């Protein structure tokens, strides 16, 4: 099979629809999970070198954030029930409202006050459930006021007992880039700058090395080219992510299901995380991103594909808005060759666990100790 | 002149303001041109705010450029003021007692410029409040950037407080109490070292960038700072000596030149050590250095810059090393200028940009600053000159008055 990179040339892809993958993304029933995960932590993850994954913690659906950030929550909500921030916020909303009333326009009044509340909202990690609902409502309303397609923004938490992992079959990939195209559409990536989370590299057979020294990330011809292999990169969702440690404002963190996310409204755009990433996985909005209204994917997650603005960082989240719904990430679903394997590392029956146990897998730059949850293998 | 007994804090600031708006025609022309350059920088910055950082030459490949280069260099200038503070207050070297105020003024200026450069580099400067502890989310101690924020602001506070106390005391015709300010000075000496080390650790703490992930980076930062900073100081002191009757001892300049000499020599030793490590047995990790010094796969925009820097550096260090050339004033001024330029080039563009090239996935994308970046940079340098002129002018006026009225021993 030989095809051009259809989406790059503006044609429609004409390949057979992807098979229906049925990897179990949801955790196995509690009993088996406890049986399989508790004996030893090495059995929870069959990576060749320990990936540092923890056996699932028996926490209730709603509590992981609180457990994680107890200290922050306590700080943010003092005993008297109103924090300094809230006082400041109310004061400023008052000022804004007065100004807007003076201008005598109720639409502007609403917009102004919504924007003020948005400006003074907290880091998503320390928001209460109510605050999360409120900001989602504000964001949806603001989108409506801008005459954009109304988004539905989820705030679904990590599912207990799930740790996502990805494997990439170098022998199968043909470099079609259907994954890249699907990712752009699914995640509302900036069309103007041509942002891509996934990079595809073409490497001459015999010149393959893990440093990608002879890899061409800009190939633009009919694929597969004879004598070449293809290899995709994206965010590897490290268990030990250097980008998270360096962020001065804690705008980026690792969720309980192992996905590294960014709070786009909290990021100050210093780009320190971009320097810290050894896999070139982070993308910055150098301009105001543009997604034509008709192409907006309205099914969104607060930490995933919702609207970004200029001056903030973004990255692949294993399509958090899909994966937490039990679906495959768009790239894995779009791949026509079956080169992409995604699943729950904590589920011993998942395909990803099969690959890790039975194939000779490797990861990029293992020497850095970042423990990526993204493996490469060849048949 | 306000009579001594009426000299309150308010009058102090009023008099300082008065000093800054009065002056010769030459002074007004100088401040006028600086204001023009600042306006130009502001204009460029407004474009950047409006359109986004995409108007700069930076990209996802080279995500820090001219701004962060200047920031890194200026942290060194700020730290170098310790080379005046240490002899003046702690070793009680009377030759430094006057120059030290100028040194502290330079530190304050350099720090303000640092903060300005970091702010213009931000994608969301209006969200900087997210960094305020408690109100925002201050990721301390994990993020080296938070350490840098603490040490830079702390150092700024120290360098505002100490000279302010001394000048205000002198303004009121009193001699400042040692017990009150010497502890802070001790503190500021350690603090000076920490600001430059913390800035070096910002880079050295990134294993993703082998060019920076290097134990020598911190010490080398210090050596180059203690060479470049005092070199600039010599030029400034010389200028003040020529143009005012502020008593700068010739001995101060001689001693500073000696400090520069030692630091520049140590810096060259470290440079040699670095070059040896990168090129004797080059590994995959030497690619950034190769890009910088020789070019990589036909990309060689930084090659002329770094070789100019190295030649200037070696030449200036030689001029410093020989007594004949170091003790000859015109030659000393030339070698100070050359060394300052060399360190600016090497530590600015030569340190930050090649760290990003090749990218972690092996791609080579060059970086060239745009006119907007250059205009903003010039604007911030003009701001620095502006602030420094104001500070020094006021300090000299107060000190001179104190000297004429109280011919006592220097604080
Ligand atoms: S760019 Fe944003 S996410 Fe990255 S380190 Fe800076 S504030 Fe954090």
Which pLDDT tens digit goes with each residue over A144-203? 999 999 999 999 999 999 999 999 999 999 999 999 999 999 999 999 999 999 999 999
Q: What per-residue confidence (pLDDT) applies to B50?
A: 97
Examine the fold and report which residue of A133, A154, A175 is the final residue of a domain before the chain moves on: A154
Taking CB atoms and an 8 Å cutoff, what residues of chain B touch A72? Answer: 137
Q: What per-residue confidence (pLDDT) applies to B4?
A: 80
Q: CA of A84: which chain B residue's CA is closest?
A: B135
Residues A278 and A199 in one domain: yes
Taking CB atoms and an 8 Å cutoff, what residues of chain B touch A287? Answer: 51-52, 54
Taking CB atoms and an 8 Å cutoff, what residues of chain A touch B146? Answer: 248
The whole-angstrom separation of Cα B280 and Cα B378 is 39
Which among A348, A346, A281, A373 has a CA at the least distance from the CA of A51? Answer: A373
How many contacts, defined by CB atoms under 8 Å, are there between A and B? 144
In a domain, A35, yes or no: no
Q: Does A360 touch chain B (CB under 8 A)?
A: no
Residues A149 and A214 in one domain: no
Tell whether ligand 1 has an atom less than 6 A from the beta carbon of residue A275: no
Q: CA of B205: which chain A residue's CA is closest?
A: A276
Examine the fold and report which residue of A103, A121, A154 is the final residue of a domain before the chain moves on: A154
The whole-angstrom separation of Cα B308 and Cα A294 is 54
What CATH number is given to the structural domain containing A169? 3.30.70.20
CA of A261 to the centre of ligand 1 (A): 11
Our mutation pick for probing the ligand 1 site, out of A124, A235, A252, counting the most ligand atoms within 8 A of Cβ, is: A252
Structural domain including A101 reads 86-154
- Look up residue A240 and give its two tokens: 């030990």
3-state SS, residue A267: coil
B53, B118, B356 ranked by CB distance to A311: nearest = B53
Long-range contacts of B265-268 (CB under 8 A, 24+ apart): B265/B317, B265/B320, B265/B321, B266/B223, B267/B220, B267/B223, B267/B224, B267/B227, B267/B313, B267/B317, B268/B313, B268/B314, B268/B317
In a domain, A111, yes or no: yes
Residues A168 and A150 in one domain: no
Residue whose tokens read 């047995």: B281
In a domain, A253, yes or no: yes
Residue whose tokens read 């993204």: A374
Q: What per-residue confidence (pLDDT) applies to A228?
A: 96
In a domain, A329, yes or no: yes
- Residues of chain B with pLDDT below 50 are 408-411
In a domain, A60, yes or no: no
- As a whole number of Å, the end-to-end CA separation of chain B is 22
Residues A206 and A287 in one domain: yes
Q: Tell how strand A374-377 and strand A164-169 pair up.
A: parallel
Residue whose tokens read 């990589």: B296
- As a whole number of Å, the end-to-end CA separation of chain A is 19
Residues A334 and A212 in one domain: yes
Residues A206 and A120 in one domain: no
Tell whether ligand 1 has an atom less than 6 A from the beta carbon of residue A313: yes
pLDDT band, very low/low/confident/very high, at A234 (cuts 50, 70, 90): very high
- Look up residue A149 and give its two tokens: 């397609």
3-state SS, residue A343: strand
A29 vs chain B: nearest CA distance in angstroms?
37
C-beta atoms of B207 and A368 within 8 A:
yes
Q: What per-residue confidence (pLDDT) applies to B85?
A: 85
Residues A225 and A96 in one domain: no
A213, A248, A369 ranked by CB distance to B362: nearest = A213
pLDDT of A252 over the 90 cut: yes
CB burial of residue A7 (10 Å; 0-12, 13-18, 19+): middle
Confirm if A148 and A296 have CB atoms less than 8 A apart.
yes
- Cα–Cα distance list, B21 to A183, B1, B320 (Å): 60, 15, 39
pLDDT of A226 over the 80 cut: yes
Sorted by where each begins, the domain ranges of chain B are 25-396
> What is the ipTM for the molecules in this complex?
0.94
Q: For chain A, what is the domain count?
A: 2
Of A43-57, A143-157, A360-374, B189-203, which gets the smallest average pLDDT? Answer: A43-57
The whole-angstrom separation of Cα B353 and Cα B346 is 11
Confirm if A167 and A377 have CB atoms less than 8 A apart.
yes
The whole-angstrom separation of Cα A181 and Cα A197 is 10
Query: Of 3.20.20.70, 1.10.10.1800, 3.40.50.261, 1.20.1630.10, which CATH number belongs to B25-396?
Result: 1.20.1630.10
pLDDT of A36 over the 60 cut: no
In a domain, A349, yes or no: yes
* Average pLDDT value for residue range A317-340: 97
Backbone angles phi and psi of A142, in degrees to 5: -65, -40
For residue A375, the surrounding DSSP H or E stretch is strand A374-377
Residues 6+ apart with CB under 8 A from B9: B168
In a domain, A81, yes or no: no
Residue A225 Rama label (left phi>0; alpha psi -120 to 50; beta): beta
Confirm if A200 and A231 have CB atoms less than 8 A apart.
yes
Residues A109 and A240 in one domain: no
Q: What per-residue confidence (pLDDT) applies to B256?
A: 93
Ligand 1 nearest atom to the CA of residue A247, by list position: 5
Q: What per-residue confidence (pLDDT) applies to A90?
A: 64
Q: Kindly report the average pLDDT of chain A as a whole number.
A: 82
Residue whose tokens read 């990433």: A277
Which pLDDT tens digit goes with each residue over B3-36? 787 888 899 999 889 988 888 999 999 999 999 9
- Comparison of pLDDT for A363 and A93, the residue scoring more: A363
For CA atoms B21, B22, B23, B29, give the dihedral sign: positive
Examine the fold and report which residue of A113, A134, A154 is the final residue of a domain before the chain moves on: A154
The whole-angstrom separation of Cα A278 and Cα B362 is 11
Residues A145 and A176 in one domain: no
pTM: 0.87
In a domain, A77, yes or no: no
Which pLDDT tens digit goes with each residue over B47-98? 999 999 999 999 999 999 999 999 999 999 999 988 888 888 877 787 787 7
Q: What percent of chain B is helix, strand and coil (3-state, nearest 5)?
A: 75, 0, 25
pLDDT of A277 over the 70 cut: yes
Residues A243 and A370 in one domain: yes
| Percentage of chain A lying above the pLDDT 70 cut | 73
Largest distance between two CA atoms of chain A: 72
Residues A101 and A147 in one domain: yes
Residues A337 and A218 in one domain: yes
Confirm if B88 and B97 have CB atoms less than 8 A apart.
yes
Residue whose tokens read 């060749």: A48
pLDDT of A314 over the 70 cut: yes
The whole-angstrom separation of Cα B110 and Cα B233 is 12
B137, B144, B207 ranked by CB distance to A278: nearest = B207
Instruction: Show the 3-state SS of B24-70.
Output: CHHHHHHHHHHHHHHHHHHHHHHHHHHHCHHHCCCCCCCCCCHHHHH
């Amino acid at each position: 099979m030989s095809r051009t990179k259809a989406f790059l040339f503006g044609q429609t892809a004409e390949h057979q629809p992807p098979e229906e993958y049925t990897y179990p993304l949801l955790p196995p029933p509690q009993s088996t999970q406890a049986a399989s995960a508790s004996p030893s932590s090495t059995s929870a993850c069959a990576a060749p070198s320990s990936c540092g994954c923890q056996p699932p913690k028996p926490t209730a659906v709603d509590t992981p954030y609180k457990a994680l950030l107890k200290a922050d929550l306590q700080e943010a909500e003092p005993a008297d029930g109103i924090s300094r921030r809230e006082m400041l916020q109310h004061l400023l909303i008052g000022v804004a409202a007065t100004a807007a009333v003076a201008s005598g326009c109720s639409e502007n009044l609403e917009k102004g006050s919504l924007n003020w509340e948005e400006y003074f909202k907290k880091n998503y990690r320390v928001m209460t459930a109510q605050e999360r609902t409120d900001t989602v409502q504000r964001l949806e309303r603001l989108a409506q006021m801008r005459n954009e397609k109304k988004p539905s923004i989820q705030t679904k938490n990590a599912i207990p007992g799930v740790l996502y992992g990805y494997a990439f079959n170098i022998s199968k990939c043909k470099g079609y880039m259907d994954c890249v195209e699907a990712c752009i559409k699914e995640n509302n990536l900036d069309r103007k700058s041509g942002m891509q989370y996934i990079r595809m590299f073409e490497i001459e057979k015999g010149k393959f090395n893990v440093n990608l020294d002879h890899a061409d990330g800009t190939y633009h011809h009919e694929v597969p080219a004879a004598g070449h292999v293809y290899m995709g990169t994206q965010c590897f969702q490290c268990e030990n992510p250097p980008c998270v440690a360096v962020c001065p404002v804690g705008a980026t963190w690792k969720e309980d299901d192992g996905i590294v996310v960014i709070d786009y409204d909290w990021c100050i755009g210093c780009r320190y995380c971009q320097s810290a990433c050894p896999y070139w996985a982070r993308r910055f909005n150098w301009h105001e991103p543009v997604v034509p209204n008709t192409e907006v994917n309205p099914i969104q997650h607060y930490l995933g594909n919702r609207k970004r603005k200029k001056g903030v960082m973004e990255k692949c989240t294993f399509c958090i808005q899909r994966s937490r719904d039990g679906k495959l990430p768009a790239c894995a679903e779009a791949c026509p060759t079956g080169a992409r394997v995604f699943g729950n590392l904590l589920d011993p029956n998942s395909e990803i666990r099969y690959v890790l146990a039975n194939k000779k897998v490797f990861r990029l730059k293992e020497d850095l100790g970042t423990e990526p949850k993204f493996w490469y293998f060849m048949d | 002149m306000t009579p001594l007994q009426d000299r309150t804090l308010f009058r102090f600031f009023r008099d300082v303001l008065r000093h800054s708006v009065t002056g010769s025609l030459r002074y007004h022309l100088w401040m006028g041109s600086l204001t023009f350059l600042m306006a130009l920088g502001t204009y460029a910055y407004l474009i950047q705010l409006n359109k986004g950082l995409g108007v700069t030459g930076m990209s996802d490949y080279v995500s820090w450029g001219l701004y962060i280069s200047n920031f890194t260099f200026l942290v060194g200038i700020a730290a170098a003021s310790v080379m005046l503070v240490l002899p003046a207050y702690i070793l009680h070297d009377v030759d430094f007692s006057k120059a030290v105020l100028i040194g502290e003024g330079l530190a304050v200026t350099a720090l303000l410029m640092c903060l300005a450069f970091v702010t213009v580099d931000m994608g969301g400067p209006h969200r900087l409040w997210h960094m305020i502890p408690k109100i925002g989310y201050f990721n301390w101690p994990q993020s080296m950037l938070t350490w840098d924020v603490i040490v830079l602001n702390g150092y700024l506070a120290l360098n505002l407080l100490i000279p302010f106390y001394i000048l205000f005391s002198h303004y009121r015709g009193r001699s400042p109490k040692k017990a009150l300010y010497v502890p802070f000075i001790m503190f500021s000496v350690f603090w000076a070292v920490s600001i430059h080390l913390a800035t070096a650790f910002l880079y050295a703490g990134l294993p993703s960038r082998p060019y920076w992930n290097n134990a020598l980076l911190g010490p080398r930062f210090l050596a180059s700072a203690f060479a470049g900073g005092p070199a600039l100081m010599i030029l400034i002191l010389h200028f003040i000596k020529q143009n005012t009757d502020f008593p700068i001892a010739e001995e101060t300049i001689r001693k500073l030149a000696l400090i520069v000499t030692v630091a520049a020599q140590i810096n060259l030793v470290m440079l040699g050590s670095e070059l040896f490590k990168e090129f004797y047995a080059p590994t995959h990790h030497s690619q950034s250095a190769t890009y910088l010094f020789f070019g990589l796969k036909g990309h060689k925009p930084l090659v002329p810059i770094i070789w100019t820097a190295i030649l200037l550096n070696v030449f200036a260090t030689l001029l410093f090393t020989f007594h004949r050339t170091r003790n000859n004033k015109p030659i000393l001024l030339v070698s100070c200028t050359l060394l300052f330029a060399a360190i600016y080039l090497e530590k600015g563009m030569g340190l930050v940009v090649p760290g990003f090239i090749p990218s972690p996935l092996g791609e080579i994308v060059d970086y060239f600053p745009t006119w907007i970046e250059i205009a903003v940079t010039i604007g911030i340098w003009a701001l620095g000159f502006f602030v420094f002129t104001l500070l020094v002018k006021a300090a000299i006026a107060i000190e001179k008055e104190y000297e004429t009225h109280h011919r006592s021993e220097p604080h």
